[in-house]
A and B are shown apart, each in its own frame.
Chain A
Amino acid sequence: MGAGAEEEKLARLRLNFFACHRSDWLLRLMAVYGGAAELLKRPKAELCAESGVMPETIERLAVQTAAADPEAELRRAELAGVSVFTVLDEGYPELLKTIYDPPLVLYVRGELKPLPAAAIVGTRKATAYGLRTAARLAGELAGAGAAVASGLARGIDTAAHQAAVDAGGVTWAALGTGLNVIYPAENKRLAERIVEKGGALISEFPLDSWPAPANFPRRNRVVSGLSLATVVVEGGFESGALITARFALEQGREVLAVPGPLDSPVSRGPNFYIKNGAYLAENGEDIIACFPPERMFGLKPSAARRERAPSAPALSGLSPDALDAYKAIAAEADGLNADELTLKLAWPVQRAAAALFELEITSLLLSRNGRYCRAV
């Protein structure tokens, strides 16, 4: 890399310290001046006139970029094992370059393998059905050899990453924070496992950025931008998952949705998309079928097809009571709570308690807020 290229990279890193809601006008200015290094040398008045943004914004830009120390940031990234890419660097994902406003800088921990990826996104307040479905789709994609992209948020995102990691596959988490700050904190362990399994943590924000609310919609365009297709599992109309889906459409990518019950508030988003022509995602194959043909090579969708029901051996170890309880629970779409189980089977509390205990320690049931649902 020549001295000029090195200078340009540092300038872009410096420019990236400016926190803004949208960066398209910066990219346009860079195009005008032929790079970030040149842009930063221009007087404020000229930038203001050229871009048409408010003088206050340019003032903020000047202050924030002047305060930044890109060399130190690069050193700290190296120490933390984080690679830093700009669009000019080899290793910046090709697919992401094609979106409207690609991130100026991409911080990556782990490895961004050149795999075809699909995004699995959804609400943080998922139902058991949503979690189960996200996990199955992610597991099938990972098993087929595709990468699973998502945002490391609670709920659907976590279920998708988790399932991909459990299947031994590659998953990419685009964060709304800097890579030194994992949010939510309870996903730190998951983040480590993602990197261990050959996946990557990705962020466009400087290493120590806190989870500012404005970061998350920006993060969503990276999730969809890294992916050939975006699957909306669950999400109400205000959900961030729908923002991701909209980005995917703007970026010319496929959008799929998982149908849900009509009366479930978190299925309104995906059902709306299906009504308006999105593909219906029933399994991993459906998702991979949306990839451009040249990106399907090497993927083995059918091999990863997951069983819809637990395997016979998993059930054969159960006592007759536990098996009855499992069947009763599995038959209900949104599961049962302990009371409903006693009513459905007309069992005394003691009998239901014993059966539930036996089931709880297997992996057959998910227990959330007192409701039990089948886990597979």
Chain B
Amino acid sequence: MLSKLRTLCLKGIDGREVSAEVYIASGLPAYTVVGLPDAAVKEAKDRVVAAVRNSGFDFPAKRITVNLAPAEIKKAGTHFDLPIALGVIAAAGGLGKEPPARLGETFFIGELALDGALRPVAGVLPMLLALKGVGRTAVVPAGNSAEAAVSGVECLAASSLKDVAAWVAGTGELGPCQGAPAAAAQVQARDLSEVKGQAFAKRALEIAAAGFHNIILVGPPGAGKSMLAKRFGALLPPMTFDETLETTKLYSVTGLCAAGRLVSERPFREPHHTISDAALIGGGSSPRPGEVSLAHNGVLFLDEFPEFSRPAIEALREPLEACKVTVSRVKESVAYPARFLLVAAMNPCPCGYLGHPTRECSCTPIQVHKYRAKVSGPILDRIDLQVQLSAVKYADWEALPRGESTATVAARVLRAKELQRRRFGGAKANAFMAGAELRRHCALPDGASAVLETAMNRLGFSARSLDKILKISRTIADLEGAPAISREHLVEAVQYRMLDKAALAAV
């Protein structure tokens, strides 16, 4: 007997339709899965046998062949359990002589427990999104119900193999997937006003949030780099629905979709500096998204930036340039989106105290040079804002003003974002301007070219950093709601390129 069912699999973060065929022939008892399955799919056998029998059906002691087509896509994951089990039951005649119509028309996803219960699986949302517009129904584990409801595809939630079999046979009912109750609006636990002083760094973060500029914070230990970075995400404008969906897909593929909720807050990822390049970028023998992709549409915070391994730092080049990463392996090559805002933090020197008002730096100039050289070059070229933080003396710290709250700054950022939306007609931000666009939107006011000339001649800026200054100026103008860049905007922008200043080189 032969049965045919539909299910789905993932290629990268996109779902693909898969057809599962089960054929039972007489012969010595055997069970074979073909169609490029990975280890987890082959293991399905033991779960399927137990689940089928514990659900009150017969698992025939015959020659069983399972084929997952198309055969050229690698099949990974445990969600093939349900279609395989149903296929076996149907092929063994457990659902009646003729398989019911529902069996061949519905898409089934789910992992089985040995008692026949359905367990939630990773990647439900991206798989279901492949069914958008197809007009078919899907059956998913009840544990994925909330995630499935988001997809906009007609979905039924099931809690056991028995229920699914009853629904297919027309003797039972399955409920539709219910969306999770909206997460309670998160109380903003961390506010920008808690960071005292550091006016320049705060302003630079505001600019970074408004124009999606990457930023590097340079300062001694305890200056507040991490504190500021952790409060940075809340400055970004709220995610659009499309952005939410994109990011949730990545979380779903990785199995990080907590309680099936949408990732509606901008992600904030802060991997430790010992992270491998594969974990940062994405990889593995069956590729999965790395930290850069989990930070998609959000913030990637790399503390102690020069301590990251050279390969890890170099690997950031592709996502920073193309906003995606391509993970190529022998068997397949997948692309994950990775449009994140990089917030890097570093000390001014290996010991951290160069330029500290009271502590002496114990580094030699060569050490400082080597330390800085780790982040120079192609990566630094992709970081628009470079700001210096300084240690705050305790006596001063007590008296420091608290500064603006997150809400105040975020409101300005939102306004600047709106201006950019009108300018580019999409989600594009100032940071991604290049070539002709840059010249069109960043026309220099009269007399301002003298500012740039001075920056080059007196402060040792390169021609490349002038482009950055223009982009930053554009964002500063947007924050003010100014249609054109003025001299003041340019002059302020120059302050956010501290690593460029030749004067900084240790005398």
Q: Chain A residues in contact with chain B, CB under 8 A?
A: 124-126, 131, 154-155, 158-159, 184, 186, 236, 263, 265-266, 334, 337-340, 342-343, 348-350, 352-354, 356-358, 360-361, 366-371
Question: Is the beta-carbon distance between A361 and B495 smaller than 8 angstroms?
Answer: no
Question: Is the beta-carbon distance between A367 and B390 smaller than 8 angstroms?
Answer: no
Cross-chain contact of A338 among B358, B491, B495 (Cβ < 8 A): B495
Known contacts A357-B495, A367-B501, A370-B355: does B365 contact A339 (CB below 8 Å)? no
**Which of the candidate stretches B64-72, B195-203, B226-234, B328-336 sits at the interface with the other chain?**
B195-203
Interface: B498 (CB within 8 A): yes
Interface: B39 (CB within 8 A): no
Question: Is the beta-carbon distance between A343 and B197 smaller than 8 angstroms?
Answer: yes
- Measured CB to CB, the closest approach of chain B to A337, in angstroms, equals 4
Cross-chain contact of B203 among A340, A349, A360 (Cβ < 8 A): A349
**A and B contact pairs by CB, cutoff 8 A, 10 listed:** A158-B507, A338-B200, A342-B199, A350-B492, A352-B199, A357-B491, A360-B503, A361-B458, A367-B504, A370-B390
Which chain A positions have C-beta within 8 A of B454? Answer: 361
Which chain B positions have C-beta within 8 A of A350? Answer: 203, 488, 492
Q: Mask for B183-215, Cβ within 8 A of A = 1, else 0? A: 000000000000001111101000000000000
Known contacts A350-B492, A368-B503, A369-B504: does B459 contact A343 (CB below 8 Å)? no
Cross-chain contact of B498 among A354, A358, A370 (Cβ < 8 A): A370
Interface: B87 (CB within 8 A): no
Known contacts A124-B365, A342-B199, A368-B504: does B357 contact A334 (CB below 8 Å)? yes
Which chain A positions have C-beta within 8 A of B355? Answer: 368-371
- Measured CB to CB, the closest approach of chain A to B367, in angstroms, equals 12
Question: Is the beta-carbon distance between A356 and B504 smaller than 8 angstroms?
Answer: no
- Measured CB to CB, the closest approach of chain B to A263, in angstroms, equals 7
Question: Is the beta-carbon distance between A125 and B504 smaller than 8 angstroms?
Answer: no
- Measured CB to CB, the closest approach of chain B to A77, in angstroms, equals 30
Find the A residue at minimum CB distance from B197.
A339
Which residues from 474 to 507 on chain B have a C-beta closer than 8 Å to any C-beta of chain A? Answer: 488, 491-492, 494-495, 498, 501, 503-507
Find the B residue at minimum CB distance from A363.
B458
Q: How many residues of B contact A (CB 8 A)?
A: 36
- Measured CB to CB, the closest approach of chain A to B352, in angstroms, equals 12
Question: Is the beta-carbon distance between B501 and A154 smaller than 8 angstroms?
Answer: no
- Measured CB to CB, the closest approach of chain B to A186, in angstroms, equals 8
Which chain A positions have C-beta within 8 A of B199? Answer: 339, 342-343, 348-349, 352
Bound: A356/B454 CA distance, A: 13
Interface: B259 (CB within 8 A): no
- Measured CB to CB, the closest approach of chain B to A111, in angstroms, equals 28
Which chain B positions have C-beta within 8 A of A154? Answer: 365, 506-507
Known contacts A338-B388, A354-B491, A368-B504: does B458 contact A360 (CB below 8 Å)? yes
Bound: A236/B360 CA distance, A: 10
Question: Is the beta-carbon distance between B491 and A353 smaller than 8 angstroms?
Answer: yes
Interface-central residue, A334, A342, A353, by most chain B CB under 10 Å: A353
Which chain B positions have C-beta within 8 A of A370? Answer: 348, 355, 388, 390, 498, 504
Interface: B396 (CB within 8 A): yes
Interface: B400 (CB within 8 A): yes
Find the A residue at minimum CB distance from B399.
A343
Beyond the given pairs A367-B501, A370-B355, 13 more chain A to chain B contacts, judged by CB atoms under 8 angstroms and listed by A's residue number, are: A124-B365, A186-B505, A236-B360, A339-B200, A339-B201, A349-B203, A352-B200, A353-B491, A353-B495, A360-B503, A368-B355, A368-B506, A369-B504
Bound: A186/B369 CA distance, A: 13
- Measured CB to CB, the closest approach of chain B to A336, in angstroms, equals 9
Known contacts A354-B488, A357-B491: does B390 contact A340 (CB below 8 Å)? yes
Find the B residue at minimum CB distance from A354.
B491
Q: Chain B residues in contact with chain A, CB under 8 A?
A: 197-201, 203, 348, 354-355, 357-358, 360-361, 365, 388-390, 396, 400-401, 451, 454, 458-459, 488, 491-492, 494-495, 498, 501, 503-507
Cross-chain contact of A354 among B357, B458, B492 (Cβ < 8 A): B492
Bound: A317/B507 CA distance, A: 28
Which chain A positions have C-beta within 8 A of B361? Answer: 125
Which chain A positions have C-beta within 8 A of B491? Answer: 353-354, 357-358
Known contacts A126-B507, A357-B491: does B354 contact A369 (CB below 8 Å)? yes
Cross-chain contact of B507 among A265, A334, A368 (Cβ < 8 A): A368
Find the B residue at minimum CB distance from A365.
B503
Bound: A306/B120 CA distance, A: 81
Find the A residue at minimum CB distance from B363.
A125
Question: Is the beta-carbon distance between A356 and B495 smaller than 8 angstroms?
Answer: yes
Bound: A357/B492 CA distance, A: 8
- Measured CB to CB, the closest approach of chain A to B267, in angstroms, equals 28
Cross-chain contact of A131 among B389, B492, B504, B507 (Cβ < 8 A): B507
- Measured CB to CB, the closest approach of chain B to A102, in angstroms, equals 31
Find the B residue at minimum CB distance from A349.
B203
Bound: A367/B396 CA distance, A: 22
Question: Is the beta-carbon distance between B390 and A339 smaller than 8 angstroms?
Answer: yes
Question: Is the beta-carbon distance between B357 and A184 smaller than 8 angstroms?
Answer: no
Find the A residue at minimum CB distance from B365.
A154
Which chain B positions have C-beta within 8 A of A349? Answer: 199-200, 203, 492
Find the B residue at minimum CB distance from A162.
B507
Bound: A347/B200 CA distance, A: 11
Which chain A positions have C-beta within 8 A of B360? Answer: 125, 236, 265-266
Find the B residue at minimum CB distance from A346.
B401
Find the A residue at minimum CB distance from B390.
A337
Find the B residue at minimum CB distance from A338.
B200
Bound: A345/B168 CA distance, A: 76
Bound: A358/B454 CA distance, A: 10
Which chain B positions have C-beta within 8 A of A124? Answer: 365
- Measured CB to CB, the closest approach of chain B to A367, in angstroms, equals 5
Known contacts A184-B365, A265-B360, A360-B458: does B200 contact A369 (CB below 8 Å)? no
Bound: A126/B458 CA distance, A: 23
Question: Is the beta-carbon distance between B503 and A155 smaller than 8 angstroms?
Answer: no
Question: Is the beta-carbon distance between B501 and A339 smaller than 8 angstroms?
Answer: no
Question: Is the beta-carbon distance between A360 and B200 smaller than 8 angstroms?
Answer: no
Find the A residue at minimum CB distance from B218.
A370
Find the A residue at minimum CB distance from B393.
A340
Which chain A positions have C-beta within 8 A of B348? Answer: 369-370
Bound: A48/B184 CA distance, A: 90
Find the B residue at minimum CB distance from A334.
B357
Bound: A366/B400 CA distance, A: 26
- Measured CB to CB, the closest approach of chain A to B398, in angstroms, equals 12
- Measured CB to CB, the closest approach of chain A to B245, in angstroms, equals 37
- Measured CB to CB, the closest approach of chain B to A224, in angstroms, equals 23
- Measured CB to CB, the closest approach of chain B to A295, in angstroms, equals 32
Cross-chain contact of B198 among A266, A339, A354 (Cβ < 8 A): A339
Which chain A positions have C-beta within 8 A of B390? Answer: 337, 339-340, 370-371
Interface-central residue, A131, A186, A360, A371, by most chain B CB under 10 Å: A360
Bound: A154/B200 CA distance, A: 30
Find the B residue at minimum CB distance from A125.
B361
Find the A residue at minimum CB distance from B490.
A357
Which chain A positions have C-beta within 8 A of B492? Answer: 349-350, 353-354
Bound: A109/B334 CA distance, A: 64
Bound: A353/B498 CA distance, A: 12
Which chain A positions have C-beta within 8 A of B400? Answer: 343
Which chain B positions have C-beta within 8 A of A334? Answer: 357
Interface-central residue, A131, A338, A352, by most chain B CB under 10 Å: A338
Bound: A210/B197 CA distance, A: 47
- Measured CB to CB, the closest approach of chain B to A38, in angstroms, equals 44
Which chain A positions have C-beta within 8 A of B388? Answer: 337-338, 369-370
